[in-house]
Structure formats: C-alpha cells, structure tokens
Structure 1
Amino acid sequence: MSTSANYAQLPSLNEDYALTNEQIASYQKNGHILLRNVATPDEINAYEPILSGVVREHDYNTKPVEERDTYGKAFIQIGNLWQLNEGAKRFVMACRFAKIAAELMGVSGVRIYHDQALFKEPGGGHTPWHQDQIYWPLDTPNTITLWMPLVPVSEEVGSMTFVDESQKLGYLSRQEISDESHKTLGSFIEGKQLPTTNYGALAAGDATFHAGWTLHSAPGNPTEAMREVMTIIYIEDGVRIAEPDSKARANDLRGWFPGLNPGDIAASPLNPLVYKA
C-alpha cells in the first residue's frame, strides 16, 4: 500500500466515540482514563502495518538494547509520523481521537502538538517516572496524550502506571526522563503515599489518555514481542507559547513550533487544528 489512492481506502476514523459524563468527570479528577475500543480491530488491522512500517524505516538504533542508557532502553521513539507517511497522517489527524481529547479536557478545539511512536522492544527497559509537560513550553493545563497499543499488551507488560490526581500538583521537577527522575519522583510518590493506577492488559485499539502534568511510568518488556504503541499529544486551540525556562523546553520550541516565539499562539504549520466543536 503505497499510493495516496490506496490510502484513501483506509478507514476514516471520523465516526463518533460517545463519552459519558462520568468518564469526563473521572478524567478531570484523576488526570488519566482508559477507554476501550477507541479504534476497532478492523481499523487497527488497516493502520498497524503502515505505522509499524514507518517506525522500522526510521529506526536508526544500532546498539543492542543492553548497551543503551535508560532512556534508550525504554523505547524506539519516532516523532511526527504524520509528516512521513500519508496513511500515518490519516491516523494522527483522526477526528474521533481529537474530539475525545477536547471533550475530556472540556475545551472547544484541539491542535496536534506532535505524535510519537513508542515501540518497546523485547527486553526493553522501564520508562522512568516523569511528567511530559516539563518538555513543553506551554503555560496551560490543557494538554493531553492519547496512548494506544497497536498490538495486544499482556498483563506483564501492562499499560502505564499513573499517579492519581497528580496533574493538580503542577510542575514538580525539571528532571528529564532518567534514572534520577525515577528516583526523585519515586521517593516523592512513596513519601506522600500517593495512590497509583495501572490498567493492566490492553487490547489493540484501547487507549489511555493522560494530562501533561500527570506523573507516570511504564514497566519494561520481559516478553518476546514488540510493544507497539502510538501516541498523539493534543493542546487546546488558542493557547500561547511560554518563555522556555529550561533547555528541554527551548529545544521543543525550536522543534515543534518552528518560526514561533514566546507569546505567540501555539499554531505553527506543525500544529494543525484537528477538531473544533
């Protein structure tokens, strides 16, 4: 499947996924939620070969897993698949996913911040405790990540582990994903005895959504199968770029908001509007 005409035959992913008021309230309270069957088995069967193909094509890891640092062991990470492949673009721009993101946050419109394939190899390491939003030069709580496995994920690999209501704590630490962040934030979670949730085994097409400030980690992959996950990060339409207060945020400003400056509305050509109520 390589031509645009063939991609036009792909499922549209625009049909509605109805959320209940309880689901929205639960997300807003806890900062995370699991939604089952956000993409159907047929839709996953159509898109998985395309998305995993793009990852294989752009995976430049040459070192074996055991020789990499903690971050390198955690996953194969490829960003903005939507720019690399027409089929991947249809998946990332899906109106269904974007509408869920907007409704969970309680906003009228969302833009793409970026997408990322996060494939955890057999023997891949854990993902240390972190908050995504330490990387993002945005002064808003209205950011959300869809995390969708493209293959069934067994109980021993599981979903991510989230710290309930941690999004309400805001900016806890500038530490980037590392052994240090795992230790510091792990001690904080333990010391405060904060409750956590892990959703366990997931089917392909299930999805978790979590807020940008929600503390989370993920276990390693002790199985023989690749844990294929696609993520899409959404931001509220109309939010402005904040002055970067770290190197990580300065890098993100350059990479994901090209041509824009602090104070500008976060809407470069890399941040298309994907849903408006």
Structure 2
Amino acid sequence: MFLSPRPFKTTLTYPYMEVQLDKSLLLRELDEPYTVSPEALACYRENGYVKLKDVLSPAVLDYYGTLITDLVFKLNTLTKPMEERTTYERAFLQIMNLWRENDEAKEFVFSRRLAKIATDLMDVEGVRLYHDQALYKEPSGGFTPWHADQFYWPLATPKTITVWIPFQYTPMEMGPLAFAEKSQNVEIGRDVEISDESEQLLAEKLAELNFSMNDTPFDLGEVSYHAGWTFHRAGPNLSDKPRKVMTMIYMDKDQTIIKPRNSYQQNDLTTWLASYPVGSKPESTLNPILFSY
C-alpha cells in the first residue's frame, strides 16, 4: 500500500529565508529534458561513466531528499552496532523499490528527465526500470568494495546503467562514488560478489592494468551514470552526517532475460524481474518503461 503523499504546497528553508514553492514546479523539472552534451556522451562511451553538473535543482533535492530520507529510516531493519556488521553491512543502509512504498517517491524514481539521460547515454530507444535503491552511508560507515553491478543481473546485454544521486554536497570525507575508467570493457572480476575479496582482487588487478580512477567530490545537483560492468567503489564516511544517495538502475527496454549464472542472479530474477521466462523481455509491472522515443 502506498503511503500518503505530502501536501501540494511545500516550504523550503534556506539561509535567512523561507520559500513557498508550488510542487508543480518540482514535477515539471523531473519531467523536462536535460541535454547531454556531445562531450558527456563521448566520456560515458569511452570511460563507462560520466558525471553531470546541475541535473537537479536544490529545491528538488531538498523536497524529495527529505521524503526519501524519512522512508529510509522508517523502513530500515539493519540496527546492529557498526562493529558487529559485515563489510557489506557497514558500507550502507540499502532500501530498495521505494517507488512501491510511496507515491511521491514514485514521482522521483519515474522522472523522465533522468530516464531520458540514461536512454541517450546508452544510445537505445528507451529504458525500463530494473529497480531503485537508496544507499545511505551512516557516519562511521565503512568503505564500499570494488565491484561491478551486472554480476547480480540475469540480463543478456551490457545495455544497463545506474544513476547515482547524492542529496547533499558530497566531499571526499563522505565517500563519494569512484570509478575505474574504461573498466567496463575488461573481463576481470566479473564472477566476484561485492566483498573484502572483490576489494583486494580488483584493487590489485586494476592497478596492475594501470586503470585511472576518478574519485572526485560531487557538487550539489551533480549526478553520475555508470554502466553495469564499470568497476566502482566508495570510501568510508568520515563525517558526522549520513551520506544520503538515491539510485535508479535502468536497462534497455528491449533487454532480454538470460538463465541465471549464480544464486544472486536467481534471486534477482525472482525479486526484481517477477520470474519472467528466460529469453523474454522483462515486461512485468515491476519493470515499467520510464522513457521511450
């Protein structure tokens, strides 16, 4: 069941002022197209990721960030002390498919603006949602090990992409996402789950192969998109505030489901693809088309 939406009018508080904002302006922004420059397209296709400035306004990030943060802490079930958690559990609080919990979270997840960027970067006709996930790195939260997302997905082609949206300025001390440039094209570590082992193995291999790493901070309004096979990691959160991030995973709308190659892909087939048959398109109600030309 969906939780009740917030009022149509909202008050955003900035230093020295309050702004009464019509929510229709936020919805319009989430729907309006963002032009991806030729340079950004080239960067993504060469390096397997791209960081884009000013994709979302402070008003959108404030409104939906507050809403999603409330949901994350309401739905979170990971309450063990940090010292008792595994490396994966220390990395972040992970809450998935918020769009199915709340109508306004759905507005954000279903943004045509964000989905169109994913479509353009992958050079496809449209994209479906695989799933969304909030990734909140708590104060004193640990590092996120090197990994590639598509290890977990029973999908036939590399036409997959994730948008990473920080709800705050994210300096180095908060653990911004870092990318191994051009790593989407190398078949190393593709059979390793995210773990201490993946961190050690991939750190060694990526260094040995002389891959450059981009681990720069994220400005407010800046987001990144990375391909499913691009290796990435994040440092620990050394600040006294949570690193609040929302992500959406998109796939080519004409993607095909394949036979799962590991237990994680079997679980994803059941959980996120509604157990649709191998060889079919992921056309269940869990995987709506969010943008199409």
TM-score bracket, shorter-length normalisation: over 0.9
2:94 pairs with 1:77: yes
In the alignment, is the contact (CA less than 8 A) between 2:4 and 2:102 conserved in 1?
no
Equivalent position to 2:290, from 254, 270, 274: 274
User: How big is the shift at 1:233?
Assistant: 0.3
User: How big is the shift at 1:28?
Assistant: 0.4
1:157 corresponds in structure 2 to 174
Q: How does 1:43-192 map to 2 (within 5 A)?
A: 43-170=60-187, 172-192=189-209
Q: Structure 1 residues 143-152 or 186-195, which shifts more?
A: 186-195
In the alignment, is the contact (CA less than 8 A) between 1:163 and 1:197 conserved in 2?
yes
Query: 1:258 & 1:58 partners in 2: Cα distance?
Result: 22
Query: 1:19 & 1:108 partners in 2: Cα distance?
Result: 15
Query: TM-score, normalized by length of structure 1?
Result: 0.95
Cα deviations by residue, 1:18-43 (Å, 9 ceiling, x for unpaired):
11111101100000110011110111
Query: 1:203 & 1:172 partners in 2: Cα distance?
Result: 31
Query: TM-score, normalized by length of structure 2?
Result: 0.90
How many residues in Structure 1 have an aligned counterpart in Structure 2? 276
1:9 corresponds in structure 2 to 23
Equivalent position to 2:59, from 32, 42, 65: 42
SS in 2 for 1:156: helix
Q: Structure 1 residues 156-165 or 22-31, which shifts more?
A: 156-165
- List alignment gaps of at least 5 residues for structure 1: none
Q: How does 1:162-241 map to 2 (within 5 A)?
A: 162-170=179-187, 172-198=189-215, 200-241=216-257
2:263 pairs with 1:247: yes
Query: 2:220 & 2:288 partners in 1: Cα distance?
Result: 26
- Matched letter for residue 122 of structure 1: P
Cα deviations by residue, 1:226-263 (Å, 9 ceiling, x for unpaired):
00000000000111101101111111101101140211
The CA RMSD over aligned residues, in Å, is: 1.6
Question: Structure 1's 195 and 261: CA in aligned 2 closer, same or farther, altered over 3 A?
Answer: same
Cα deviations by residue, 1:62-82 (Å, 9 ceiling, x for unpaired):
201121000000000000010
In the alignment, is the contact (CA less than 8 A) between 1:148 and 1:204 conserved in 2?
no
SS in 2 for 1:55: helix
Query: 2:119 & 2:173 partners in 1: Cα distance?
Result: 31
Query: 2:42 & 2:247 partners in 1: Cα distance?
Result: 22
Cα deviations by residue, 1:98-142 (Å, 9 ceiling, x for unpaired):
000000111110000000000000000000000000000001110
Cα deviations by residue, 1:141-181 (Å, 9 ceiling, x for unpaired):
10000001012212322421111111112463311110011
Q: Which runs of 4+ in 1 moved over 4 A?
A: none
